[in-house]
Amino acid sequence: MTEREPALARDSALDAVEAGPSAVSGAPVRLDEASASHPSVDALRARFGDAVRHHEVSAGDQHVVYVDAARNREILGWLRDDRAAHYDLLADVTAVDFGAGRPLQVVYQLWSMRHRRALRVKCELPLSHLVIDSVEPLWKTADWLEREVYDLFGVKFSGHPDLRRILMPENYAEGHPLRKDFPLRGRFSRAEQTRRALSQDPHDHYIPAELEIGRDPQAAPGAPRQHPEPPAKRPSTNRPLTRGK
Amino acid sequence: MGLNEGRLPGGGVTSRPGGLPLVGAGGPTFLTTKVDFVVNWARRNSLWPMPFGTACCAIEMMAAAASDFDVARFGMERMSFSPRQADVLICAGRVPYKLAPVLRRIWDQMPQPKWCVSMGACASSGGVFDAYSMVQGIDTIVPVDVYVPGCPPRPEALLYGLLMIQEKIREESLARHGEHRAEDPLRAGTPEATEEEVAGLTGPFGNSTRQNRVGGLVRTDRPDRPDDRQP
């Protein structure tokens, strides 16, 4: 297979998938300030200087600005509060792993409802140190979005109030599935995955008050709730896989 | 289909002509065959499905329940959205591991007699989702009576699967009740298939991901789609 590679090299449309954006000709163009500018990026450069790494335009009009990961909360907080920027809506928090040891990108998609303007902010994290400040204090919507990034990529958001898995089962122990070094079928055998799936027990991961949420639709919202004693733990289903009889 | 014909729609032949007595040592008696006939007639014509729809198959299942195809013609008068009142579990769509205990608990909550239809490729085998998150066939979780192939199957296919359930009910006998309906309460909440069965069902069929389970990435260089399948 290795010797056939040069033949495949140029024409494969999958090159872009493998190599990531910056190695592909024609895809996002790096811009200097003269050719195209975004008012918020100019303001960021003026205020934060070197913390703004570089700026590019993707898909025609989507401005992407790379900032220093260590100062993400300061910069995003300024983008939210500054009257000229005023990015009051955090539309999405996600991450990209390009594989091949390249740094993992944490992506913040911002929207300013006042100025009707979008800005994408990216922070690059080395795979050896996936820690970044949480922006949950700035936008409450980041709570679940950052939990999702933690669950699927393993990025630790310091300062997050409740950093737990959100999509994968609570007892999932195979790692973070969207990382490029994660095998597609998971790390455990199918039998072990099936056994673990059926031995999920919500009582292991939630306090009784959380399990009561939504159980009594007649109760007035906000009314103090009488929590019953936690139910006696049912016999564990964590038995070895054997047929009965 | 005549009572004495003994042929099943799938091409099989039944050993016991429907409703007619077989007299012999160890065989069902005149009384039990007559009671069987009445009980099975009542059961197969009043099946209530428990819809467990998780994906596009559920759209076809809804179409089967709507007026064009009208599953009520066959006695499935309504979808029973409560497992306690249901007879047939129709699992329509892909089931991730996080949903597996829910599926198993719904199955355990259904009273006997009960049957299960696995509708579509994903419910039957995992389909194209040979991935970390997906149950590779719900028969590892619950016992399945009828598999309906398709992606998704047409409503006619689901109706045919339900008619096969009806034929299966026709073959049941109170005299062999334990054989058909035995259920070990201690196995509630546990996987249906043994570890060896799961391993056999989910062996590597070859996917083009350049990854195996042991070492993670097999190759990190350029993809070579036709040849990159791992044994």
**What is the Cα A108 distance to its own chain's centre?**
9
Residue A235 counted as domain residue: no
Query: In the structure, what pLDDT confidence band is assigned to residue B62 with cuts at 50, 70 and 90?
Result: very high
Same domain, residue pair A183 and A85: no
> Range of A192's domain?
168-206
Same domain, residue pair A91 and A188: no
A235 contact partners, CB below 8 Å, separation of at least 6 = none
Same domain, residue pair A43 and A163: yes
Same domain, residue pair A130 and A197: no
Please provide the CATH number assigned to the domain covering B30-187: 3.40.50.12280
SS3 assignment, position A57: strand
Q: Choose, out of B104, B128, B133, the residue to mutate when testing the contact with A (most A CBs < 10 Å).
A: B133
CB contact under 8 A, A1 and B224: yes
Half-sphere exposure at residue A108, Cβ-oriented, CA atoms within 13 angstroms: 32
The crossing angle, in degrees rounded to 10, of helices B100-109 and A190-198 is: 60
Q: Choose, out of A198, A199, A201, A203, the residue to mutate when testing the contact with B (most B CBs < 10 Å).
A: A198
Looking at residue A223, what is its pLDDT?
Answer: 52
Same domain, residue pair A89 and A42: yes
CB contact under 8 A, A184 and B97: no
Same domain, residue pair A159 and A202: no
Same domain, residue pair A65 and A178: no
Same domain, residue pair A93 and A151: yes
Query: In the structure, what pLDDT confidence band is assigned to residue B91 with cuts at 50, 70 and 90?
Result: very high
Instruction: Say whether pLDDT at B202 is over 50.
Output: yes
SS3 assignment, position A23: helix
Pairing of strands A62-67, A89-96: unpaired
Query: In the structure, what pLDDT confidence band is assigned to residue A39 with cuts at 50, 70 and 90?
Result: confident
Residue A189: which of B199, B209, B223 has the nearest Cβ? B199
Looking at residue B170, what is its pLDDT?
Answer: 86
A83: CATH = 3.30.460.80
Residue A60 counted as domain residue: yes
Looking at residue B94, what is its pLDDT?
Answer: 92
Same domain, residue pair A113 and A184: no
By the CB < 8 Å criterion, does A233 face chain B? Answer: no
Residue ranges per domain, chain B?
Answer: 30-187, 195-227
Looking at residue B197, what is its pLDDT?
Answer: 80
Domain count, chain A: 2
Query: In the structure, what pLDDT confidence band is assigned to residue A10 with cuts at 50, 70 and 90?
Result: very low
Same domain, residue pair A135 and A188: no
Q: Is the ipTM of this complex over 0.85?
A: no
Model confidence, pTM: 0.73
Query: In the structure, what pLDDT confidence band is assigned to residue A100 with cuts at 50, 70 and 90?
Result: confident
Query: In the structure, what pLDDT confidence band is assigned to residue B16 with cuts at 50, 70 and 90?
Result: low
Query: In the structure, what pLDDT confidence band is assigned to residue A59 with cuts at 50, 70 and 90?
Result: confident
A10-43: string of b/e by CB count within 10 Å (b at 16+)? eebeebeebbbeeeeeeeeeebeeeeeebebbeb
CB B47 within 8 A of CB B166: yes
Residue A158 counted as domain residue: yes
Mean pLDDT score, A62-77: 92
Instruction: Say whether pLDDT at A211 is over 60.
Output: yes
CB A62 within 8 A of CB A120: yes
Same domain, residue pair A69 and A176: no
CB A150 within 8 A of CB A156: yes
Residue A114 counted as domain residue: yes
Prior bond of B152 cis (ω within 30°): yes
Tokens 């609570």 belong to residue:
A170
- For the beta carbon of residue A106, count every other beta carbon within 10 angstroms: 24
Same domain, residue pair A74 and A131: yes
- Give the Å distances, CA to CA, from A103 to A73, A95, A100, A179, B195: 19, 11, 9, 11, 39
CB A166 within 8 A of CB A190: no
Residue A221 counted as domain residue: no
**Tokens for A34?**
């003269």
Q: In angstroms, rounded to a whole number, what is the distance separating the alpha carbons of residues B8 and A231? A: 49
Residue A50 counted as domain residue: yes
Residue A242 counted as domain residue: no
